[in-house]
Amino acid sequence: MDYLPLAKTGKSKILEQPKTDPAFSPTFEKYDVVISNFGWKAAPWPMETRKSFKAYIQNGGGFVSIHAANNSFPEWEAYNQMIGLGGWGDRTEKDGPYVYYDNVGNKVIDTSEGTAGAHGDRHHFPATVQHIDHPITKGMPKVWMTGVDECYAKLRGTAENMTVLATGKDLSENAPTDRQEPVLMTIEYGKGRIFHSALGHDTDSFENVGFIVSFLRGTEWAASGKVTQAIPLDFPTAQQPRQRTFKLKTH
Ligand SMILES: [Zn+2]
């Protein structure tokens, strides 16, 4: 699944796009929010489709970028502005600074040279809420444990109009950095709202209640600017990841 627009009717439509389809031209305006979990080396969208997507977001559309969707479209300037931070795809200092928090809670904008995107082994790692007063994170514990997931590190990008809501600390043996890396972000682009989650490698990470709740709240916020969903009782704690096992397994 690469692309998931949710219609105003509540119905959704899933489209797959393994290679560039010159006829791929959805009417984005029909939808409150567009969700992408595209990945590394995703087929570029046709120019006209890029233009219409940019106009849709500028005019107040919603976009949700999940995990490897921040690897996609490295050469598309507007897309990089929408996601705020990206990884891989030959992204370097030319695309913007590294953004992260140090281990005592200071936000760092780092313009040093280097590639973008790295991760250690998949594992449960602590997510730290940096903005507890945002509707998406309000009521979450300060620290909560993710599912077995990749903690993306060394993301870099324009980072304009971006708020880092939560960071992750890679505790694996081969952690690429020793710092707090952005995992949940919001970006404003024109009148549009973007929710960017770097979490969500696969089913094990999707089953984490922290992923589920941040995804649902972030999507509602991107679509409407509001969040009406409460934090459930089974939300993860600083020690316990708390999973909901999906009945339908994809692997
Ligand atoms: Zn991944």
Burial class (CB in 10 A: 0-12, 13-18, 19+), 52: middle
CB atoms within 10 A of CB 51: 12
Q: How far is the CA of 59 from the centre of ligand 1 (A)?
A: 31
- For residue 48, the model assigns a pLDDT of 96
Q: What's the gap in Å between 163 CA and the centre of ligand 1?
A: 22
User: How remote is the CA of residue 179 from the centroid of ligand 1, in Å?
Assistant: 19
Q: Residue 205 C-alpha to ligand 1 middle, in angstroms?
A: 10
Distance from the CA of 119 to the center of ligand 1, in angstroms? 9
Q: Say how many Å lie between the CA of residue 67 and the centre of ligand 1.
A: 7
Q: What is the mean pLDDT of the chain?
A: 93
Q: How close is the Cα of 32 to the center of ligand 1, in Å?
A: 26
List the domain boundaries for the chain. Answer: 3-224
The predicted-structure confidence for 66-115, as pLDDT tens digits, reads as follows 999 999 999 999 999 999 999 999 999 999 999 999 999 999 999 999 99
The confidence score (pLDDT) of residue 32 equals 97
Q: What is the pLDDT of residues 132-177, one digit of tens each?
A: 999 999 999 999 999 999 999 999 999 999 999 999 999 999 999 9
Please give the CATH topology (third level) of the domain spanning 3-224: Rossmann fold (3.40.50)
How many angstroms separate the CA atoms of 178 and 73, rounded? 28
